[in-house]
A and B are shown apart, each in its own frame.
Chain A
Amino acid sequence: MNRHLGEGTLQALLDGALPPGERPAAEAHLAACGECAAAARELRALNERAGALLAAGDVPAPVAQAQMSLRARRARQNHWGDARRALLRAAILVLGVAGVAAAAVPGSPVREWLRETVLPAKKETLPPAGRAAVPPPRETPADAPTGVSIRPDGGAVRVVLTGASPRLRVTARLVDGDRAGVLARGGAMAGARFRTAPGRIEVVDAGAGEIEVEIPRKARSATVEVNGRVFVAKDGDSLRVLAPAEAPGGGPAVRVDG
């Protein structure tokens, strides 16, 4: 290579960014050409000076503080997501209860509407004479499950039940989604309070009834604790029961589904 090296080539050579095919020729030229060697030295000094100037104004990165702040932001995002879902469930519940209550009041417009639209249809499907018409059991809005869900924190999930009724039944299962959730049914909802923190769901004072715990299959680790004991832990791709399903002398029953 007889032509002098351009500044861009010299800079790429100094930064180790020259394509492998061009590097040997450039280095050979640099070794033979005093003018280009001087230009390379000048450019290296310039780069070092620029780096020193930039570093002179640096301040330590507030890593710990920023990480705490970021965790709080993530928790807030999860909290508001959970709160929105809880509000939606509450609204549906209220509407359902209001509808049932309105239908129960004699002379109410809802009752009249039901009588006009639903009852004639019932007449057509009356059971044969001689058999008692037993209405099928129907889940009322009051029986609708309630609960919360969170995203795992760093792949970890911890579900903690404290003050659980001895007649509580807990079922844990793996799910394909990316959120961990706890659903309370029946009497378990009575007096139960939910709390969430990053990677953690707490259920306090769940009554007699059913609690369903859903653990994302791709969670790195997960545990379910009931009244101070770890009953279930995620082991690889499955959930494992670590303690007797039912404590001696009676206590919440914990099992793994699937």
Chain B
Amino acid sequence: MSRGPAVDYDALFRRLYPSLFRYLHRLTGESDAADDIAQESFVRLLGRDMPEDEARLWLFTVATNLFRDGARTRKRRERLLAVRPWTPTALPRPDEAAERAATVKAVRGALDTLAERDRQMLLMREEGFRYDEIAKVAGVAPGSVGTLLARAARRFVAAWDNGGNDGEQALG
């Protein structure tokens, strides 16, 4: 049974990519990684015919799984390289790019203090997903989403504050 006209992937890409990229950039803290995962997710979407709402949730689910797979490899590599754990710093920032990089790193560090599921839920809420969609992707009961989101936001902000960024970034 036909489900309507052929999918215009270019238009779909233009509508959904910015949100998916932002979500992944916040999740990974890296533009290249976010772009790679977003593109790979769209490649996997090609040939699938589904309504846009469904496609959006499908893309975020696939992208999150790709991030998780990559994260395992990354963690192993970081252990091998003995990367120092994140500590918020107030290093001198010579230019805007450096400042942005420091902010991204600090946000990423504060997010890293959350459990993976809580981080994912918080970021999906920021992208405007409904509670039932967040529950489906995170694998939790829809009735618990509010509690988990409030807790995640509280931990995230506390992690930022404990990192000593209050006065430095003037974001709060």
Residue positions of A touching B, CB distance < 8 A: 6-12, 15, 17-18, 43, 46-47, 49-54, 56-59, 61-63, 66-67, 69-70, 73-74, 77, 152, 154-155, 218-220
Contact = CB atoms under 8 A, between A and B. Distances in A.
Interface stretch (B55-63, B75-83, B99-107): B99-107
B31 to A, nearest CB: 6
Given A57-B26, A70-B39, A154 B10 contact: yes
B42 A59 contact: no
A69 B17 CA distance: 13
Contact of B8 (A8, A9, A77, A155): A155
Contacts of B117: none
A43 B150 contact: yes
Interface string B1-38: 01001101111011001100110011001010001001
A15 B100 contact: no
A46 B157 CA distance: 7
A53 B171 CA distance: 6
A61 B22 contact: yes
Contacts of B150: 7-8, 10-11, 43, 46
B126 A66 contact: no
Interface string B141-172: 00111111111011011001000000001011
Given A15-B131, A53-B157, A54-B122, 6 more contacts: A10-B146, A15-B149, A54-B123, A59-B31, A67-B14, A218-B5
A66 B171 contact: no
Which of A46, A61, A220 has the most B CB atoms < 10 Å from its CB? A61
Given A17-B130, A53-B172, A8 B146 contact: yes
Nearest to B156: A50
Contacts of B46: 74
B6 A11 contact: no
A226 B33 CA distance: 45
Contacts of B160: 53
Contacts of B6: 152, 155, 218-220
Contacts of A49: 157, 171-172
Contact of A61 (B18, B29, B106): B18
Contacts of B169: 56
B68 interface: no
Shortest 5 CB-CB contacts between residues of A and residues of B: A8-B147, A8-B146, A12-B146, A11-B146, A57-B107
Given A46-B157, A53-B110, A62 B14 contact: no
A18 B130 CA distance: 11
Contact of A54 (B14, B126, B147, B151): B126
A234 to B, nearest CB: 12
Contacts of B21: 61-63, 66
B125 interface: yes
A112 to B, nearest CB: 50
Contacts of A17: 130-131, 145-146
A53 B31 CA distance: 17
B112 to A, nearest CB: 13
A9 B146 contact: yes
Given A12-B146, A58-B25, A50 B171 contact: no
Contacts of A74: 43, 46
Which of B10, B21, B122, B149 has the most A CB atoms < 10 Å from its CB? B149
Nearest to A152: B6
Contact of B10 (A7, A15, A54, A67): A67
A57 B108 contact: yes
A49 B14 CA distance: 29
Contacts of A66: 13, 17, 21, 35, 38-39
Contacts of B104: 57, 59
B171 A155 contact: no
Contacts of B11: 154
Contacts of B9: 154
